[in-house]
Amino acid sequence: MNWLQLSWKNIISRPLSMLLSIVLFALGVGLISILFLLDHQLQQNFEKNLAGVDLVVGAKGSPLQLILCSMYHIDAPTGNIALKDARPFMVKNHPLIEKAIPLSMGDSYKGYRIVGTTKDLLSLYNAKIATGKVWKFNFETTIGAAVAKELNLKIGDQFQSSHGLTNDEMHMHDDVEAFKVVGILEPSGTVLDQLILTTPQTFWLIHEEHDHDHEEHDHDHSAHNHDGHNHEDHDHDHSDHDHGPAAPKSLLDEDQDKQITSLLIRFKGRNFQSLNMQRNINENTDLQAATPAIEINRLFSLMDTGQQALRTLAIVIIFVSGLSIFISLFSSLRERKYELALMRSMGAKPAGIFTLIILEGLILASIGFFIGILLSHGGMQLLANMIKDAYRYSFTGWQFLKEEAYLLIGALFIGVVAAIIPAIQASKTDISETLAKG
């Protein structure tokens, strides 16, 4: 029988102490591993969606809320801004601004957000069309890959939006024209996968009609729908072009009192004027400007305090589990002194006995490590499903990080350290004295 088999036999001969050591070790490793996974995937999601945006301009309020809503679509808008206030940033050939992309938000379909915007948003994320085309007319939509997959939507499908950003049938806009899917985007791993994109003007038409319907609630419903569509610049089926619909005007030519939610701004270059723009907007206008990178770093620093506390707890648990392995091996030596002396008398060398005990420490640490990794990845997968339901973001438990290899090395090191004193003692067993005592 080799040393490894003998080590395993010794471990399973005392199942209770073995189980305690392994459970403690697995908890510590699992906690550190799940923190690595969460931190890595959060950073990945946040960084991927920065998309080179230098500034987000919107209504006054919390700058972090403005960023989370406009770029990550996981918070409510801070309010709306008038086109007359947004236009100075949207003019063509602006000396500082390369792109100013308008966003209109506030409606959704089955929990997925509808965003009124321009085609520039696609180029910001280097998005490509998988099937169909980019939206052009009002009530046409190009949808993200995750939306198409989860809601089983295809080109030509129609749906009614809901007011608000939750999946609430009570707030369904069933008194206005249905949205029509004209395109589906390729998966990009960005927030676009979770969005339904249309024209900003569609938002105005929905809410104008909705308000008009409330004012004239005694009007015949079908007649109202028909009248409502006469004053819009589109028809139900754009492919037929029955009434020769025109594409919506540029927002620069629309009524200046119309409103949008925010603007995503990318600068032409980094210079003193562009770096000062945020402060100028915040101090001299009714608008608010926020820098995505700064706000996201602030968010991570807020989260870091909690993560530090959990990391410390995990390290304490691993230390206690190392101590538990040490106590388990040390106490078992008393019971096994006679057995070890017999092994020595039968020709086992001190180095062999030393190796035997070290292997026991390594086996306990390895089992604890692999159970901990299973727990962390399984837990992350459960958490990923909850995060997906709540925020529509894709996380996974089946991503393995290089940090986990370092964690394995650390775990094995703790196993060796915990076993080293018992191993030295075992290798120094006095054969004649121990056998004489029996």
Task: Encode pLDDT of 51-97 as tens digits.
Answer: 889 999 999 999 999 999 999 998 888 899 999 999 999 998 899 99
Strands 287-290 and 129-132: unpaired
- pLDDT reading at 224 higher than 60: no
pTM given for the model: 0.76
> Are the C-beta atoms of 419 and 329 separated by less than 8 Å?
yes
Closest CA to 95 of 294, 292, 291, 277: 277
| CB neighbours of residue 71 within 10 Å | 22
Q: Does the structure show a pLDDT above 70 at 296?
A: yes
pLDDT band of 131, cuts 50, 70, 90 = very high
Residue where the block lists tokens 């030596």: 333
Q: Which of 3, 35, 6, 24 is nearest to 418 (CA)?
A: 24
pLDDT digits (tens, 9 = 90+) for 284-295: 999 999 999 899
Q: Which 3 state secondary structure label does DSSP give 158?
A: strand
Listed ranges 170-174, 197-201, 314-318; the one with the highest mean pLDDT: 197-201
- Burial (CB count <10 Å: 0-12, 13-18, 19+), residue 360: buried
Closest CA to 289 of 264, 309, 313: 264
Specify the 3-state DSSP secondary structure of 263. Answer: strand
pLDDT confidence of 168, banded at 50, 70, 90?
A: low
The model's confidence at residue 214, banded by pLDDT at 50, 70 and 90, is very low
Residue 19 dihedral angles phi and psi, to the nearest 5°: -65, -45
pLDDT of 361 higher than 50:
yes
**pLDDT for the residue numbered 433:** 67
3-state secondary structure of 196: strand
Which among 12-21, 170-179, 194-203, 235-244 has the top mean pLDDT?
Answer: 194-203
* 251, 255, 260, 262 alpha-carbon torsion, rounded to 10°: 60
Lowest mean pLDDT of 293-307, 315-329, 341-355, 404-418, name the range: 341-355
Asked whether the predicted pLDDT for residue 192 surpasses 90, the reply is: yes
Burial label for 67, CB within 10 Å (0-12, 13-18, 19+), is buried
Sequence-ordered strand ranges (E) for 31-96: 55-59, 81-82
Per-residue DSSP letter, 113: E
